[in-house]
Structure 1
Amino acid sequence: MNGRAGKETDMSATDRLFFALFPPAATAARIYALQQDLRVRHGLWGRALAMDRLRVTLSHLGDYVGLPPAIVAKAHEAASRVHAPAIDIAFDRALSFAGRERNMPFVLRNSEGASAVQALQRELGKAMALSGLGKFVRPYTPHMTLLYDSNDISEQFIDPVTWQCTEFRLIHSMLGQTRHVTLGAWQLGESAAVATPLLAAE
């Protein structure tokens, strides 16, 4: 039986769903090299994300016990409603997101904000609500997590990392297995909302 995991149950979540933007392979390789350099420079030895998992998350759809087909179907419906231009993404600083005693996210961000990403996240959130997935328009700071560590690293500027994002994806994360599967991809730009469902595993 598929179900949402929560405090009211002792079931442990096994599956997570989220929408995200991914850099092309060459850019991901550059970001991964930057991640390794920053780890050494600041003595960060906490859990780091693998190169193929570096991403800009747009919205979490929740954690579940088993993959819920009804939620996946609603997510596909929501994504097909989105019509948005391709997005130019630029990250020019690295810092820790404070607020936790341990495992603080060490992330890339943009000093000028990322209004186009925020606009896409808002449109996707509205589409999710229309498709019966609840309210997903929340305060949102676009970023890319590189790793998690207990050290709090203050903001620093880096050589800008840029790419043009022409699609967003629905991802199935198998919790505890460090494995992602792409359940669908939707184009941004002139051919917006054209889906490529059931892509190969990440």
Structure 2
Amino acid sequence: MDAYSSSNDARLFLAAIPDAATAARIHQLAGVLKGAHRFSGKPIEPERLHVSLFFLSGLPQQEIREACAAAADVRIKPFEVSFDRTASFRGKRGSRPFVLVGDKGLQPLTSFRRMLGDAMLRRGLRWVTNTNFTPHVTLLYDARSVEEYPIEPISWTVNEFVLIQSLSGHDYLARWPLEARAVA
């Protein structure tokens, strides 16, 4: 099996992930908000919390390799992200994502995703790089939905991004540290 292959049932995507301490804080917040909003959905486990950047599921192996090569091309210093609200997104009936969102504190993440998308475009992966992007961290899924609500900001420094294969858990297939490296 190729290093970047996935079964037909697995999802494959690039993501930014919180550090372990921040993931634990987010998970704890999800538990508190679950009770406050009378949600019945189970909070996402800390090791599964992430911000999806680009989905690669269903791509041929060569295109997955090109996407990973594009990921390796990105040069940027670590940056801070900050989520300051919760909201329910539309989703499948009975399974709406309840998420962390923000505005100004997510501009560096949006810029990073644009850079990563540009690197993929240079490698001919136009269909992977759709421009629709609402940075969020899914806390849980529930039949109920709630309006957007402010929270004490949750922030972390994005030091890397990862290739995740998701089936019964999250397997990190590749990691790319963020650092401003000199281009040879």
| Band the TM-score falls in, shorter-chain normalisation | 0.7 to 0.9
Deviation at 1:77, TM superposition (A): 0.8
Distance 2:182 2:10 in 1: 28
**Cα distance in 1 between the residues matched to 2:18 and 2:105:** 18
Counterpart of 1:25 in structure 2 is 20
In the other structure, the counterpart of 1:163 is 156
For residues 19 and 25 of structure 1, the distance between their equivalents in structure 2, rounded to whole angstroms, comes to 18
The yes-or-no answer on 1:148 pairing with 2:141 is: yes
**Structure 1 unaligned residues grouped into runs of 5+:** 3-11, 194-202
Preserved CA contact (<8 Å) 1:28 1:51: yes
Distance 1:70 1:111 in 2: 35
Give the 3 Å change call, closer, same or farther, for CA 63–40 of structure 1 in structure 2: farther
Listed as ranges, the gaps of 5+ residues in structure 2 are none
Higher mean C-alpha displacement, 36-45 vs 47-56: 47-56
**What is the number of residues matched between the two proteins?**
179
Contact (CA 8 Å) 2:82, 2:105: kept in 1 or not? no
The 4+ residue runs of structure 1 with deviation greater than 4 A are none
The answer to whether the Cα contact below 8 Å between 1:92 and 1:110 also exists between their aligned partners in 2 is: yes
Scaled by the length of structure 2, the TM-score of the pair is 0.86
User: Sequence identity, in percent?
Assistant: 38
| CA–CA distance in structure 1, aligned partners of residues 58 and 170 of structure 2 | 14
Hey, what does 2:72 align to over in structure 1?
80
Aligned partner of residue 186 in structure 1, secondary structure: strand
Which one of 5, 13, 17 corresponds to residue 8 of structure 2? 13
Q: Deviations over 1:136-190 (max 9, x none)?
A: 141211111111111111111111111111111111122xx2x221111112133
Structure-2 change in CA distance of 1:100 and 1:69 (3 Å): closer
Larger relative CO (CA 8 A, sep 6+): 1 or 2?
2
Q: Which residue matches 1:5?
A: none
Q: In the alignment, what sits opposite 1:106?
A: 98
Partner of 2:85: 93
Q: Is the 8 A contact 2:81 2:105 kept in 1?
A: no
SS state at 2:126 partner: coil
Greater helix share, structure number: 2
Aligned match for 1:35, one of 30, 35, 39: 30
Question: One-letter code of the match for 2:138?
Answer: T
- CA deviation digits over 1:45-87, x for unaligned, max 9? 12431110001111111247xxx54343222211112112212
**1: CA distance between counterparts of 2:123 and 2:103?**
34
Name 1:132's counterpart in structure 2: 124
Moved more, 40-49 or 157-166: 40-49
> Is 2:40 aligned against 1:50?
no
- Which residue in the other structure is 2:114 paired with? 122
TM-score, normalization by structure 1: 0.79
Residue in 2 aligned with 1:180? Answer: 170
SS at match of 1:23: coil
Give per-residue Cα distances to partners, 1:107-146, cap 9 Å, x unaligned. Answer: 0011436211111111111222222333314121111111
